[in-house]
A = this chain, B = another copy of it.
Amino acid sequence: MICHFDLRLQTRGHGHMQDLTGRVQALVEKAGIQDGLAHVFAMGSTAAVGTIEFEPGLEEDLPAMLDRLIPPSREYGHERAWHDGNGHSHLQATLLGPSLSVPVRDGRLVLGTWQQIIHLECDIRPRERTVVVTVLG
C-alpha cells in the first residue's frame, strides 16, 4: 500500500528550521500502515529535509554552519541568470538534500530519542512550501 500526503508549511525565510516529526507521525497513522517506510520529500530547489535533535542551539547551528560553508554572496554563477541573490540557497539545499526515508514499525516512526525530522528553508525569503510524505507498507 502506498499513500501520498502533502504537508503545507509557511516558512519565515533563510535558515528557518521546522520540526515535522509530529505531522509525519500523524500521516503514518492516517495511512493505517503498521510496517513500512515513510518517505519525506521537499518540493523545490531551495529547501531541504533531514534529521537533527530539534533544540534551540542546533536550530541556530545548522543554518550557521551551512552559511559558513556556502556563504551568501553575489559571486555564484547562478546570479548571472537570475540576479536574485540565492545561489547559496540552491547549493545548501542540494548538499543537505530533499529526500529522507524513515522506517515505520508497529505504526510508529523509528527514530532515536533526540532525532527529529526537520524541514529547512534555505531560500532568502519566506516561502509557502509543500513537503510530500509517502507512506509505504
Contacts and interface: CB of A to CB of B under 8 A. Distances in A.
A44 B43 CA distance: 25
B37 A55 contact: no
A31 interface: no
Contact of A99 (B35, B79, B80, B100): B100
B101 A81 contact: no
A58 to B, nearest CB: 5
- Where chain A touches its partner, the secondary structure class is mixed
Given A44-B115, A94-B50, A82 B57 contact: yes
A96 interface: yes
By size class, the interface of chain A is 35 or more
A87 B65 CA distance: 11
A95 B94 contact: no
A51 B47 CA distance: 11
Interface of A: 2, 4, 35-37, 39, 41, 43-45, 50-53, 55-62, 64-65, 69-70, 76-82, 87, 90-91, 94-103, 105, 110-112, 114-116, 132, 134, 136-137
